[in-house]
Amino acid sequence: MFYTELMGNNQLFPPFPSFPLTVKGLDPRQIQVLALDLDGTCLGLNASLSGRMIRAIRRCIDRGVRVIICTGRSLEAAEPYRQALGAEGPMVYFNGAEVVDMPSGKVLRSTLLRVEVADYCVDLSRSRGVYYQVYFPACPEHPRGILLAEQQRQETEQYRRHTGVQAVIGDLKQALAQPGLAGCVKGMFIGEPAFHEELRRLLTERFGRSIYIAQTSPTYLELMDAGVSKGIGLGHALAYLGLQEALVMACGDEENDLPLFAAASFAAAPATAKASVRAAADILFGPHTEDGLAEFLERLFE
């Protein structure tokens, strides 16, 4: 269901739009690229992808719109959705730490978090009892990388149910001390938001601007290298396609989508998005639990 009132600086998509609907002087129907977040934007309850959403996005692709998935998920966790949507070409994973051409699997860009940062996070996890896990890069034994945690806890199972990725249990200190390890893809705390501010403060005091910290869900706090963001990843994907000047609509709902918004021509967010994301969006559409993005795309193009 769309909204009819205006709120702040957002233009809310009306139930019976009269075209052209202009945002920042642009006609959204002229978009060439859709940069799509998954969780909280395309996906509904229980990380489900509805038939309506699949049809709406596939129709965009049929019209010649390039769809680039920009997600905090790993390739493995995002792949079922990419296949269902029929999107091909460069995709942005791990909040931009990896840009991979799909379905070929060719890695176009990989930016690793320094080992010392991940190691310090293990200390924080152990001293404060906060769950922490690390994505390690691909190696001969694990060609798609591996997710490692130190304990099998409820957070481990929660993450597996949400993403389909099962963490391997082991000693993180020992794993990070491997000779020749260039770095990690990302580290991730899972816990109540009350812990997040303290963790941010401690990490910022120690590493300053050399790291990128982003809340990607109410309980997920992720750490990447400072050269990582969805916006940077999108830029690399567009350069690979030769579409640096393309008209791009970015859709997202969380803190890690703000750099994506900044890199796009204009931004759209669900009504269920975080307040700071709603404030940064040019258009708001219906809640992700009600296929708000699908309805928006249907009305926009059909």
Q: Tell which wins on pLDDT, 213 or 8.
A: 213
CA 164/CA 199 separation, integer angstroms: 26
DSSP state of 26: B
CA 15/CA 1 separation, integer angstroms: 8
DSSP state of 46: G
Q: If you average pLDDT over residues 250-265, what whole number do you get?
A: 97
Domain 115-225: give its CATH architecture.
Answer: 2-Layer Sandwich (3.30)
Q: What is the pLDDT of residues 218-232, one digit of tens each?
A: 999 999 999 999 999
Query: Which pLDDT belongs to residue 6?
Result: 32
Q: If you average pLDDT over residues 111-137, what whole number do you get?
A: 97
Left if phi > 0, otherwise alpha if psi is -120 to 50, otherwise beta: which for 148? beta
- Where in the sequence of the chain do the CATH 3.30.1240.10 domains occur? 115-225
Instruction: Give the domain 11-110+229-301 fold.
Output: Rossmann fold (3.40.50)
Query: Which pLDDT belongs to residue 228?
Result: 97
Q: What is the pLDDT of residues 150-193, one digit of tens each?
A: 999 999 999 999 999 999 999 999 999 999 999 999 999 999 88
CA 159/CA 243 separation, integer angstroms: 35
- Where in the sequence of the chain do the CATH 3.40.50.1000 domains occur? 11-110+229-301
Query: Which pLDDT belongs to residue 21?
Result: 55
